[in-house]
Structure formats: C-alpha cells, structure tokens
Amino acid sequence: MRRRSFLMLAGLSSLFWSSMLRELFAAQGPTVVVAEGTDHDRITRSAVNALGGMKRFVKPGNTVVVKPNMGWDRTPELAANTNPLVVAAIVDECLRAGAKKVKVFDRTCNDQRRCYKSSGIEAALKGMKGVEVKHPEEERFKKVSLGGKVLKECELYDEALSADVFINVPVLKHHGLSRLTIGMKNIMGILGGKRGSIHKHLDVALADINSVFKTHLTVVDATRILTAHGPQGGDIRDVKLLNKVLASTDIVAVDAVATTLFGLKPEDIAVTVEAHRRGLGEIRPERMKIVRI
C-alpha cells in the first residue's frame, strides 16, 4: 500500500514540478501588460497596477519625469502625440504614490507653445499640484559620455538625468525611417544638440543612448495609433482606434509587443533588433509574460 501511494505521490508531484518549472522559466522573462478598454484613463491605471502599482516605481518624496510624446502641433485625435488622458492618469498615479514633483516636458519639433496646447496635454495637467509642465531650455542639456558604437557622447536634459524616476510614455505610430516609433525612439525628446544627425544610423544610435540612459517604466499609448504618414500624420483617416495601453519595465519588450499590434513582427523594426542585440531587453514574445487585461 505504501509503495502505491508513494508512486502516486511521485507521479502527481512530477506534474506539479513540470508546471512549476514552466512557471520558473516564464517568470525569468519580462512582464508586458496589455490593457484594453474604452476608458483610457482606467486602462492606463490598470496597466500600471498589473505591474505592481506605481508605488513599485515611485517612492514618497521622489522627483519624477514623465516624458510623453508631444513633439507635434497636432490635436489628440490625430495620434501624433500621446493621449492626454493617458498622460494625466500616469501623472496622477505618480502623485498618489507620493511623488513630490512630477515634471512633464518634451523637446518639440514644431513651435513649443503650439505643441503643448494642441496636444491637449498642458490643459489636461493644468491645476494639478506638484506638476510642472515646462519648456526645455537650451542651457540645461548636459553632455553625457556614451562610449557607444556610433555615438561617443550626446546631450541629455539635466532634469531627466537627475530625476529619481523616468517614465517614458510614447504613442505608437508609423515613422518613415524607422517604420515605427515607440519607446526607444521617444527618448529623443530629451536629446539635445542636432538630433537630425543621428538618423543615418538611427538603430545603433538609439541603442547607444538607451544603454546609458535607463527608463524605469515605459507605458505605450496605443489608444489611437497612427498607421501611415507618421510621425506627425495629419489625416484622420490614418488613425486607428485601438483602445489599448501597454506597460512594462522592459523598454525593448514593450516595443516588441506594440509592434505586433501593427501586424508586424518585432524583428521587422531595426531599432528593436539592435537594442535586443545589445542586451537592453527581450524581443521574443514567447520569452515574455504577456498579461492581457
């Protein structure tokens, strides 16, 4: 009798162990949350909560920089800038987690004032205590040594460098050169100097920059995506309403999953491939834990 029960125990435990082992392997990959819903504020918060909540990233008294995409003079429906509701939700979550100061800025491509206004982000954050929506100033870009493959050094914004937490909030959209622009490329918003000169080797340059500058949390706005004529669009027919928000601590992983929303494979985007090759994150969806809520 005891041998039989022993064999049963061994057989059952092997099942238990194999699923445990599977869990073990899966837990080693990064978690990417894909939240879906029409309430863009709510799904943003759920996405962050599914990662452990904003308190996992922001400690009381922290200075946080939230870097949305607001580089273009376009209104929110045109999906050239990050959805203001998504940005406001992130900022609010930071404040609730106890952040002392939340700074929101972007080095725009069009007129600074028009971009901040048309994107709706400045208005969405108006009146929130402890929140500074400000224009970057020329003198505050600091030289950062990269020692990268193509960029030996670059200029990054001092407030982004000195922040306790950096939250990257890009909008998912088409881009003529890199095909898509997501988290990795959104870092260009804190880049100083002549940004246009890195396009000749964009994928390698972005890997150089992101190797040194770490993003704590990336939240990809896929509520509305720009499917063509990016990165600024202008034609409402190019915008697709997806109602999704992705979040991850792994900037490469979230870019990879976001790519699939376009019907493309992660390897189709050179920027993501180069980043993975440099060990900045995971590119293979099967190695990630994708949580859909």
- Which residues form the interface with other proteins (CB under 8 A)? 38, 73, 75-77, 83-85, 109-111, 113-114, 117-118, 120, 122-124, 137-140, 158-159, 162, 175-177, 194, 196-197, 199-202, 224, 229, 231-241
Dump strand ranges (E) for the chain.
31-36, 63-68, 101-104, 131-133, 141-145, 153-157, 165-169, 171-175, 179-181, 217-226, 239-248, 289-292
- CB-wise, 23 or 111, nearer to other proteins? 111
- CB-wise, 154 or 253, nearer to other proteins? 154
Least distance in angstroms from the C-beta of 101 to other proteins: 10
Least distance in angstroms from the C-beta of 28 to other proteins: 35
Least distance in angstroms from the C-beta of 225 to other proteins: 11
Least distance in angstroms from the C-beta of 50 to other proteins: 24
Q: How far apart are CA 18 and CA 34, in angstroms?
A: 27
CB proximity list for 281: less than 8 A, separation 6 or greater: 30, 250, 251, 252, 253, 255, 275
- CB-wise, 129 or 194, nearer to other proteins? 194
Least distance in angstroms from the C-beta of 243 to other proteins: 9
- The position carrying tokens 């929101």 is 104
Least distance in angstroms from the C-beta of 88 to other proteins: 10
Distances (CA, A) of 79 to 35, 151, 174, 201: 18, 31, 10, 26
- CB-wise, 233 or 281, nearer to other proteins? 233
Residues counted in the chain: 293
- CB-wise, 185 or 276, nearer to other proteins? 185
Asked if 153 and 145 touch (Cβ cutoff 8 Å), the reply is: yes
Distances (CA, A) of 146 to 140, 143, 209, 213, 271: 18, 9, 7, 9, 17
- CB-wise, 49 or 110, nearer to other proteins? 110
